[in-house]
Amino acid sequence: MTEVKIGIIFGGSFEEHPVSVKSAREVARSLDSTRYDPYWIKITRGGDWRLCAGPGAEDGRPVVLSPDGLLVLEDGRFETVELDVVFPVLHGRLGEDGAVQGLLELCGIPYIGCDVQSSALCMDKSLTYVVARDAGVATPRFWTGVPEDPAYPVFVKPARSGSSFGVTKVSTKDELGVALEVARRYDPKIVVEEAVTGGEIGCAVLGSGDDLVVGELDRVALTHGFFRIHQEDSPETGSENSAFVVPADISAQSRALVQETAKVVYRALGCSGLARVDMFLTPEGTVVLNEVNTMPGLTSYSRYPRMMAAAGLSLGDVIDRLVSLALTGKLR
């Protein structure tokens, strides 16, 4: 059996670099060594691209992605590696926003995950809401700027960031100015959302078009504040303010509604490969979209692999299906 040459891009030069490295480590543990020949491509915090021995390696050889393949600098000359597929295990800016996806398309290299347009739409929370609303899905009331008279509390967010970086819950008008300053550290475009009363429910989705697989739903149980596990000091040993209930302890009717809503959102935004659709389930039983993560965390404590595992798919199984989808357009 011919091994698939898979390039795994990880790291990145922005705030989600550490999360990406942790995700890549879990991918390394889950890759079937009899099926894949991995090439670990690390983007350093400074923006350099290096071919490393693995996600834990510090040093590596300079590399460049090109239409000819992966060019590896060795002794003043470039060695060319023709990759079969690339897995961009990157979170946040220049990872989930379509930038890397555009580079891979220009190079003509098949890749795992959403395409340029879908990645860009899902990265910008305001655009996500516009598309979801047009598809008939409820979203929070929101503003892309400073609202005149919102109903507090509100959440102030960078429009294009992830893992809750730059997010502040604001309870009074006096707190709004500082929250806007914090959000602008991550993105000049700001989204202000009215808070939604309800529990946060996640749905892991795998596939493309009509051929979709969903994992078991999870519910984020908060003791205080809001969900921001990737910013905590030791999330591997447990969150400071949240726990995960998998499968989510909701009714069968609500479960079906959440899963169907997630599929509607996924398709409306043009997602493919994988995504985690986060929603609120209100006390009245309605579903309100929160956000869509086109490359959700794959760490040991992340929600996506946990939901898929509860549905009987290990991370290794998920990777196999993603590679098949990237190479053939079909889930296997």
Rounded to an integer, what distance in angstroms lies between the CA atom of residue 153 and that of residue 172?
A: 7
Q: Which of 199, 297, 304, 306 is catalytic?
A: 297
pTM equals 0.93
Token reading at 187: 């993105």
- Structural domains in the chain, CATH included, are 4-111 (3.40.50.20), 121-139+196-328 (3.30.470.20), 142-194 (3.30.1490.20)
Closest CA to 112 of 235, 252, 4: 4
Rounded to an integer, what distance in angstroms lies between the CA atom of residue 131 and that of residue 52?
A: 39
Phi-psi region of 67 (alpha: psi -120 to 50; beta: other; left: phi over 0): alpha
Known catalytic residue at 301: yes
Taking residue 302's Cβ as centre, other Cβ atoms within 10 Å add up to 23
Q: How high is the pLDDT of residue 228?
A: 56
Angle between helices 125-134 and 252-268 (to 10 degrees): 110
Alpha helices in the chain (DSSP H): 17-30, 99-107, 116-123, 125-134, 176-184, 252-268, 303-310, 315-328
Known catalytic residue at 276: yes
Q: How high is the pLDDT of residue 230?
A: 57
Q: Which of 4, 12, 16, 22 is catalytic?
A: 22
Known catalytic residue at 175: no
Q: Strand, helix or coil at 222?
A: strand
Known catalytic residue at 91: yes
Q: Which of 36, 39, 301, 304 is catalytic?
A: 301
Known catalytic residue at 297: yes
Q: What is the pLDDT of residues 132-143, one digit of tens each?
A: 999 999 999 999
Instruction: Please report, to the nearest 10 degrees, the dihedral formed by the alpha carbons of residues 173, 174, 178, 180 taken in order.
Output: 20
Q: What is the pLDDT of residues 294-308, one digit of tens each?
A: 999 999 999 999 999
